[in-house]
Chains A and B, each alone.
Chain A
Amino acid sequence: MTALKALFARELALAVRIGGGALMAVVFFLIVVTVIPFGVGPDLNVLARIGPAILWIGVLLANLLAIDRLFQADQEDGSLDLIVMSPVPLEMTVAVKALAYWMTTGLPLTLAAPLFGMMLNVPPQALGAICLTLLAGTPALTFIGTIGAALTVVLRRGGLLLAILVVPLMIPVLIFGISATTAVITGPTPFLTPFLILVALSLFSLVLGPLAAAAALRASLD
C-alpha cells in the first residue's frame, strides 16, 4: 500500500511539473472547441445541437493525446524493469498509474467541459449532464487507453497504432455518453438508461484494463 501511494504521488508530481502533460490535454480540448465554430459557422442552433457531441469527441481525442507515454516513458529510462521486478503486483501498478493519469487528464477535462460547453451554446440543463456523463465515462476512456499503451510500449511512434487499436473500443462509451446528454436536451429517451450503461462500461474497463495491460507489459518485455 505504501509502495502504491509512493507511485501515485510520483505520477502526479511528474504530470504536474515542467515537461509533464497535465495541462496539455485541456489546452488541446480548448483548441478543438474553439476551432469547430469557425468550421461549422456561427449558427447558434446548430452549435447547440452538435455541442455535446463536439465536447465528447474533444475529450476522447484529448485523452488519447499523451496516453502512449504512460508506460513508454518508464520503458525508455529503465523504470519499467524495476517496476516489473518489484513485489507490487503489476496489475495494481497499472491501475494506480491509470488512476493518476485520469486525475491529471480525465478529471480536468471533465471540469473544463461545462465551461467550454457555454462557448458552444449548449443549453444550461445539458451542461450538468455533460459534466456527469464525462465523470462517469472518462475512466473508461483512460482504462481502455491503458491497454493500448501497454500493447505499444516498445514501439517508437506507437501513438498512431494505439489510436487505431483502442478507438473502436471507445466508440460504445462515446455513443452512450452522448445519447445520455442529448436525452436531457431533446428527449424522448430517458437519461438514466444510457447513463447506467456508461457507468457499466466504466466499471467493466476498470477491472479489465489493468489485467489486460499487465499481461501485455509482461509479454512485451520478453
Chain B
Amino acid sequence: MFHGVSFSVEGGHALALRGPNGVGKSSLLRLIAGLVRMDAGTLELAGGAPDVPLGEQAHYLGHLDALKPSLSVIENLGFWATFLSGREAAREDLEAALDAVGIGDLASLPARYLSAGQRRRLALARLAAVRRPVWMLDEPTSALDADGQRLLFALVGAHLSCGGIVVVATHVDLPFATTVLALEAMR
C-alpha cells in the first residue's frame, strides 16, 4: 500500500500529512495507530514506554466520533476517559475538558441531540480529558465552525508546548509550525 514513506517527528512538533483524496492519509494514520498491521518497516516512539504498543500511547481521532446517542454528553466523555486511562475520571476534569471545547453547558444533554459540530467537539474533549503523548488527528477540523477550529488549535498548541507530538491529516492550513509529509499516488 505504501512505498518509501519515512518521517520523524520530535516532541513539541507537528507533522501534517498532505495529499490528494484517496492517497492514503487516513490509512497511514491507522497504520501508525496499530489498527492496521504493518507488513514491513518499523515505527518507533523514542522515549516512550518500550513494551507498550504505540497505539496505547496515542489518541486517535478518526472520521467517526465514537459517541453513543442514548448516553449524555458527560457520560460519553466519562466512559472514554475511564476506559482509556484505567482510572475513574473526576467530574471536574470532565467538565474542564468540555469547557475547553466550548460545550460545557451541554453536559447532561443526550448525545443524540448534538449537531455534527458539537459531536466533533465532544470527540475532541476526549483528547483534553486523557493525557497521551501522541495525537493522531484525521481531518480534525471537519464540521467545526470558526470558533471550534480556534479551540482545536488552542488544544493542539497547548499539547505541543507540553512536548507532545501531533500527526494530523488535513487540507486546512494550520496556524502552527508543522513538518509536511506530502503523499503522492504511486504510478
Is the Cβ of A13 less than 8 Å from the Cβ of B75?
yes
B55 interface neighbour in A2, A76, A85, Cβ under 8 Å: A85
Chain B binding site: helix, strand, loop or mixed by DSSP? loop
Flag the segment in B8-16, B59-67, B92-100, B165-173 that touches A.
B59-67
Binary interface encoding of chain A residues 64-85 relative to chain B, with 1 for a CB under 8 A from any of its CBs, else 0: 0000000000001111011111
Q: Is the interface on chain B under 10, 10 to 19, 20 to 34, or 35 or more residues?
A: 20 to 34
Q: How far is the CB of A74 from chain B (nearest CB, A)?
A: 8
Q: A6 with B65: in contact, given A85-B60, A221-B36 (CB under 8 Å)?
A: no
Flag the segment in B40-48, B79-87, B142-150, B156-164 that touches A.
B79-87
Q: A14 with B79: in contact, given A2-B86, A81-B60, A87-B86 (CB under 8 Å)?
A: no
Q: A82 with B69: in contact, given A2-B87, A87-B86 (CB under 8 Å)?
A: no
Q: Which residues of A contact B67 (CB under 8 A)?
A: 77
Q: Which residues of A contact B186 (CB under 8 A)?
A: none
Number of residues on chain A facing chain B (CB within 8 A): 26
A193 on the interface (CB 8 Å rule)?
no
Is the Cβ of A77 less than 8 Å from the Cβ of B83?
no
Within 8 A of A (CB), among B22-66: 30, 33-37, 52, 55-56, 58, 60, 62-66
B70 on the interface (CB 8 Å rule)?
yes
Is the Cβ of B71 less than 8 Å from the Cβ of A10?
yes
Within 8 A of B (CB), among A200-222: 221-222
Compute how far the CA of A221 lies from the CA of B27 in the bound complex, rounded to whole angstroms. 12
Chain A binding site: helix, strand, loop or mixed by DSSP? helix
Q: Interface on B for A, CB 8 Å cutoff?
A: 30, 33-37, 52, 55-56, 58, 60, 62-71, 75, 78-80, 82-88
Q: List 29 A-B contacts (CB under 8 A).
A: A1-B86, A2-B87, A2-B88, A6-B78, A6-B82, A10-B71, A10-B75, A10-B79, A13-B70, A17-B71, A18-B70, A20-B70, A76-B64, A77-B65, A77-B67, A77-B68, A78-B62, A78-B63, A81-B64, A82-B80, A84-B35, A85-B35, A85-B60, A87-B52, A88-B83, A88-B86, A221-B35, A221-B36, A222-B36
Q: What would 8 more interface pairs be, CB under 8 Å, given A6-B83, A81-B33, A87-B56?
A: A19-B69, A77-B66, A78-B64, A85-B55, A86-B56, A86-B83, A87-B86, A88-B83
